């Protein structure tokens, strides 16, 4: 009887050892799962922050452009009453920005009648500071 109790004790101790090992394995897996969840949450948060930064950068650019446009308008007399600015750049004179030489080629049919047009070799170029700014900085 004493021998059977010793054997039973050893079986129970072995079982306790296996259960403790299993508990440790489960704890490690749970910790790993928690870490994976934290990593996923951080990735999601990073993506949200990057989107927010992008929106803020765009907003910053818009504010800077508004300041620069306001400065241009302050020193300008516009015969069209700043139509391009008032209409949020939706009603612009037809023009094409020539990147290589940083000038605006006017494509309006009545360009010769505009006080800002400059005729050179059968082509009209726009000298309006506001239209040039819009073509170079905003329309791109």
pLDDT, tens digit, 9 for 90 and up, residues 88-117? 888 888 888 888 888 898 888 887 788 888
Q: How far apart are CA 107 and CA 126, in angstroms?
A: 9
Residues of the domain holding 49: 1-75
Backbone angles phi, psi at 105, to 5 degrees: -85, 120
Q: What percent of the chain has pLDDT over 90?
A: 41
pLDDT, tens digit, 9 for 90 and up, residues 4-24? 888 888 899 999 999 999 999
Domain boundary among 56, 75, 94: 75
Same domain membership, residue 61 and residue 102: no
Same domain membership, residue 1 and residue 70: yes
Domain boundary among 34, 51, 75: 75
The model's pTM:
0.62
Domain count, the chain: 2
3-state DSSP call for residue 76?
A: coil
Same domain membership, residue 70 and residue 12: yes
Same domain membership, residue 64 and residue 118: no
């Amino acid at each position: 009887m004493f021998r059977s109790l010793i054997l039973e004790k050893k079986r129970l101790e072995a079982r306790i050892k296996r259960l403790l090992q299993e508990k440790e394995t489960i704890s490690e897996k749970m910790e790993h799962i928690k870490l994976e969840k934290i990593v996923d949450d951080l990735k999601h948060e990073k993506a949200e922050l990057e989107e927010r930064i992008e929106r803020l950068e765009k907003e910053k650019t818009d504010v800077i452009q508004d300041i620069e446009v306001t400065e241009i308008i302050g020193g300008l007399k516009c015969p069209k009453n700043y139509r391009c600015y008032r209409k949020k750049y939706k009603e612009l004179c037809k023009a094409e920005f020539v990147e290589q030489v940083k000038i605006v080629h006017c494509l309006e049919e009545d360009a010769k009648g505009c006080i800002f047009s400059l005729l050179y070799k059968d082509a009209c170029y726009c000298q309006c500071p506001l239209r040039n700014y819009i073509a170079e900085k905003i329309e791109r």
